Amino acid sequence: MKGDFPIGKFSEIETPFYYYDTDLLRKTLREINAEAGKYDGFCVHYAVKANANPKLLNVICQAGLGADCVSGGEVKAAVDSGFSPDKIVFAGVGKSEKEINLALDKNIFCFNVESEPELDVINELAGKKGKVARVAFRINPNVGAHTHANITTGLAENKFGIAMCDMERIIEKTLALANVKFVGLHFHIGSQILDMGDFAALCNRINDLQSRLEARHVKVENINVGGGLGIDYTHPNKVPLPDFKAYFGTYARHLKLRKGQKLHFELGRSVVGQCGTLVSRVLYVKQGTAKQFAIIDAGMTDLIRPALYQAYHKIENITSDGPMTTYDIVGPICESSDVFAKAMDVNECHRGDMLAIRSAGAYGEIMASQYNCRPLPKGYTTEDLL
Ligand SMILES: *Cc1c(COP(=O)(O)O)cnc(C)c1O
């Protein structure tokens, strides 16, 4: 089955562009709220870095999620889109003074602090403003995720977070600082994780760390387990919704929450991934010596995941019923890595056919660049095309 797209409307729009199925986004958000809502103290934030299109931020904010930001620009985008500052968290290994000051001025819920020198700077800047900044420590749990090496973040060798062996010392130091308040622990082990065992491993590690802190009578109000839930890139039609039931259920079963403790999540890809499609037209069908190329007007500048992570995206020819034919589907950029798919079977391509590159809602539009002096792709929602 091909996706159900408003092809008539598509034909009026200049390609390439992103199309966001906001009905699917709303359905996804309802499922998240229903599954997380089964458990006391579960709070879901949206990881803005996956897609900061203001129209999507608006829908996500309306559904009641908080925002997880990794830059001052994202904090600003979240506030501008209506997210309440008391539901905004701010992570990142390299927060600048300007970004920290912005977040202090907005009174965000919490800084997820990733190093001791960062803690000192936040304490100093908050002091200058006469404020007390809420801080959680991002701990590197040294838990691997069975995912692509470039998107594993929770190993000791990664740049993220504070080493477990430094946790107690830094928390105790914080208790003595005047302008920061310790409010919790933060973790994030990677992305596109489909093995619930990886999340269970994180829970076990957190249980150990909590026992260590309890022995020292340190109270932890918030646990934040980051994001990372994957989507089914192979079957966007059959499996449009990630398995939120299994995801939240895994945390409910394995993580020993203490009384009154809140458990925060920061979901990015699983919220917006399946609702987005990159729509492109075939420019040329070219016979190579050993293979056939479909050269399309979208390139790695519009969607970099295949070039960056060898990521798979299902591609459909939504304007052809011709026989299934094998192509390398490539963009126009002057880079050999500008390839969307090798040996992909799609309905026979002709110049002008429209191709749908599926599951492109996360880390697509937001990572677009103007390399080769190309314009940035535009994004349209279901409502835009009514
Ligand atoms: C990227 C990121 C997320 C979101 O990851 P997804 O895999 O898109 O769910 C959450 N938290 C932090 C700190 C991140 O850097």
Tell me the per-residue pLDDT of 200-218, one tens digit each, with 9 for 90 and over: 999 999 999 999 999 999 9
- Decide whether any atom of ligand 1 lies within 6 Å of the 89 Cβ: no
- Report which DSSP code applies to 193: B
Which atom of ligand 1 lies at the shortest distance from residue 91's CA? 13
Q: Tokens 């979208």 label which residue?
A: 298
CA of 226 to the centre of ligand 1 (A): 6
What pLDDT, on a 0 to 100 scale, did the predictor assign at position 146?
A: 67
Interatomic CA distance for residues 115 and 102, integer angstroms? 19
Q: Are 193 and 156 in contact (CB under 8 A)?
A: no
Beta pairing partners, 181: 134
CA of 368 to the centre of ligand 1 (A): 18
Q: Are 278 and 364 in contact (CB under 8 A)?
A: yes
Which atom of ligand 1 lies at the shortest distance from residue 186's CA? 13
Helix axes 244-254, 196-215, angle to 10 degrees: 30
359 φ/ψ sector (left φ>0, alpha ψ -120 to 50, else beta): left
CA of 23 to the centre of ligand 1 (A): 23
CA of 209 to the centre of ligand 1 (A): 21
Q: Would you state the structure tokens that stand for residue 169, as one six-digit string?
A: 């010392």
Q: Is the peptide bond before 306 cis (omega within 30 degrees of 0)?
A: no
What pLDDT, on a 0 to 100 scale, did the predictor assign at position 160?
A: 82
Q: Is the dihedral of CA 160, 164, 170, 174 positive or negative?
A: positive
- Decide whether any atom of ligand 1 lies within 6 Å of the 227 Cβ: yes
Q: Are 242 and 314 in contact (CB under 8 A)?
A: no
- Decide whether any atom of ligand 1 lies within 6 Å of the 268 Cβ: yes
- Decide whether any atom of ligand 1 lies within 6 Å of the 191 Cβ: yes
Closest CA relative to residue 147, chosen from 197, 201, 192? 192
What pLDDT, on a 0 to 100 scale, did the predictor assign at position 378?
A: 98
Instruction: Give the length of the chain.
Output: 386
- Decide whether any atom of ligand 1 lies within 6 Å of the 161 Cβ: no
CA of 227 to the centre of ligand 1 (A): 5
What pLDDT, on a 0 to 100 scale, did the predictor assign at position 359?
A: 98
List strand residue ranges (DSSP E) for the chain, in order.
17-20, 42-47, 66-69, 88-90, 110-113, 133-140, 162-163, 180-186, 222-224, 262-267, 276-287, 292-296, 315-317, 324-330, 339-347, 354-357, 378-381
Helix (H, G, I), strand (E, B) or coil at 264: strand
- Decide whether any atom of ligand 1 lies within 6 Å of the 230 Cβ: no
CA of 46 to the centre of ligand 1 (A): 9
**28, 46, 51, 68: residue to mutate for ligand 1 pocket, most atoms within 8 A of CB:** 68
Interatomic CA distance for residues 19 and 382, integer angstroms? 8
Q: Would you state the structure tokens that stand for residue 293, as one six-digit string?
A: 């190329």
Q: Are 57 and 48 in contact (CB under 8 A)?
A: yes
Helix (H, G, I), strand (E, B) or coil at 285: strand
Q: Would you state the structure tokens that stand for residue 200, as one six-digit string?
A: 């269970």
- Decide whether any atom of ligand 1 lies within 6 Å of the 67 Cβ: no
What pLDDT, on a 0 to 100 scale, did the predictor assign at position 357?
A: 98
**48, 191, 269: residue to mutate for ligand 1 pocket, most atoms within 8 A of CB:** 191
Single pTM value for the model: 0.96
Interatomic CA distance for residues 122 and 141, integer angstroms? 23
What pLDDT, on a 0 to 100 scale, did the predictor assign at position 151?
A: 59
Please identify every stretch of the chain with a pLDDT value under 70, giving residue numbers as ranges: 1-3, 145-157
- Decide whether any atom of ligand 1 lies within 6 Å of the 189 Cβ: no
- Decide whether any atom of ligand 1 lies within 6 Å of the 315 Cβ: no
CA of 176 to the centre of ligand 1 (A): 31
- Decide whether any atom of ligand 1 lies within 6 Å of the 242 Cβ: no
Q: Is the peptide bond before 16 cis (omega within 30 degrees of 0)?
A: yes
- In degrees, rounded to 5, the angle at the alpha carbon of residue 233 between the alpha carbons of residues 327 and 204 is 145
